[in-house]
Amino acid sequence: MATEILVFFAAALSSTKPPNAAACNLQLIRLVGSGIGVLALKLLPVFIAHGIRPQLPSVNSVVAFLCRLSQPHAAERFVASLPALGCSPDLVTLNSLIDGHCRDGNLFRASLLVLSLRSFGPRPDAITYNTMMGSVFKHRMPRFALGYLGLMWKSRLTNVVTYGILIDMFCKLGNLDSAQSALDDMRISEISPNVVIFTCLIDGYCKNGCLDSALKLFDRMLELAQFPNVVTCTALIDGLCKNGMMERAAQVFGKVHKEGIEANAVIYTSMMDGHFKKGDSGAAMRYLSRMRVTGLKLDMKGYGVAISGLCSCGRLDEAIEMRKEMEDSGLFPDNIIMTALMDACFKTRNLKKALNLYGEMLARKLQPDVFTVAALLDGLCKHGLLEQAKEHFLKAREFNEVSYSILIDGLCKKGDRSEAEKAFSEMEVVGLVPDKYSYTSLIARFCKDGDVFEAFKLHKTMHLKGAESDLLTYSTLIWGLACKGLMIEAREVFDDMVRCGIAPDVVVYEILASGYLKQNDTSSILNLREQMKKSGLVKEDIESYKFKSSPNG
């Protein structure tokens, strides 16, 4: 087609006869449509010089093309010159300009054009308002979007696109009640929702954890013969998998197959990821096999899910094989994959391989992120290589609360209390808030050192700073107090734990029982035994409980 158009223009310009205006305008439109719009821009002034006046269809084609090139100001200058050429812009022209300015992020200029239309005409239509609604919301201005919606309601211009934008906006804002109300309003207005609208709502419900509502909406789609597309199915299956609802995800997967919708790589990856997170590596790998049978290939995310999943399920050898397969296909592991492999090597006591993987990351210029640093520190600390861990921590460009918690825990377990306290204080200096794990590690160290007063004081600070104690925190503090014979205080901490809604386990009862036994406090022992009976934790006589070690190891 492009060759024919160029031959036409060459003949028209070389002819002694004046070119046919209608034919030239038509060919300009075809030229833009053929993907050679730049040539159309060059030819337009040539034809104007030959006395050919542009007609609205070709003008609109050129304006839209300029706007797609992110040149709305050039398009506007061209439109401003049209009256001198005997051509006046229409609503299509101005809608293209508005869309161009919106794409360019110049909402102020776009809104001025809309205001001009409302004041001087031609009057804005649904396309005008829908363009503005969608754009102002993308720029995080939902109130302005609702303002344009009000103008549309006033002019009775709302259509299915309007509701699609509105519902998508409410879903992304997490306002699902308003999104559902908009869907109900469509029914009242006798506007049928399309697949896009159902998909927006299903995705919104999934991302906000309302899986039952998402499933009901999916079933309603089928009832209304609005057959879901692959995007709808991807959103629903991914949401179900992320929430661990693998049986329901498998049911939807089956429906998808039954309806003749071919699952894409994203759906298979979601199914694999969900099963891996449930610890069912067999089911995950079966989905990988099915995926390969259909001819689909793993992308970077798919390999990441498969390799990380195999690592988390203790199938390191297969994960390493998959990495080789990945590289053979031309893809190279990213930070996530390398970190998963390194962490798995640490956990299988293969220290040399883990450190080699970390060295490989650095050699490939992969910048370790907070997760990589955390995995490295955790592995080194658990292998007793605390000095190496400290060196890597000091070199790290990225670290967070988890990195500090791991280091503090390692220092506490080694007995290096002063360094642990120093790292703890440093967290606040660098703008990080110590989490419950950092507090618990220090409390355990204080208790082991017999410094119960400092442990108790730190626990109080923990509450004042908003860090929530867990069962391990409380049991550690109770153990420290019991070891010092401070059973009244230990019982107070126990009661505080129960008031906070944390259910004591058998270890906590054993700690208290051991303390009471040392003091021959029969009354408290019997009282404790009754509590254990009510909790269903008594398996043998309370007198046989012997506390042998601290809960923090």
pLDDT digits (tens, 9 = 90+) for 127-169: 999 999 999 998 888 889 999 999 999 999 999 999 999 999 9
| Lookup: tokens for 402 | 């988890």
Mean pLDDT over 473-485 rounds to 93
Closest C-alpha to 380, from 414, 332, 427, 416: 414
- Whole-angstrom distance, CA of residue 186 vs CA of residue 211: 23
Q: Worst-scoring range by mean pLDDT, 303-307, 336-340, 520-524? A: 520-524
Q: What is the dihedral of CA 323, 329, 335, 341, to 10 degrees?
A: 0
Mean pLDDT over 420-444 rounds to 91
Q: What is the pLDDT of residue 376?
A: 94
Which position has the higher pLDDT, 32 or 372?
A: 372
- Whole-angstrom distance, CA of residue 482 vs CA of residue 466: 26
Q: Reply yes or no on whether the pLDDT at 540 is more than 50.
A: no
Show the DSSP H helices in 261-385 as ranges.
265-277, 281-293, 300-312, 316-328, 335-347, 351-363, 370-382
Task: Determine the residue type at 455.
Answer: A
Which position has the higher pLDDT, 426 or 36?
A: 426
- Whole-angstrom distance, CA of residue 428 vs CA of residue 438: 12
Q: Which long-range contacts (CB under 8 A, 24 or more apart) does 229-233 make?
A: 229/195, 229/199, 229/261, 230/261, 230/262, 230/263, 230/264, 230/267, 231/199, 232/195, 232/198, 232/199, 232/202, 233/261, 233/263, 233/267
Which position has the higher pLDDT, 541 or 52?
A: 52
What average pLDDT is seen over the chain?
A: 88
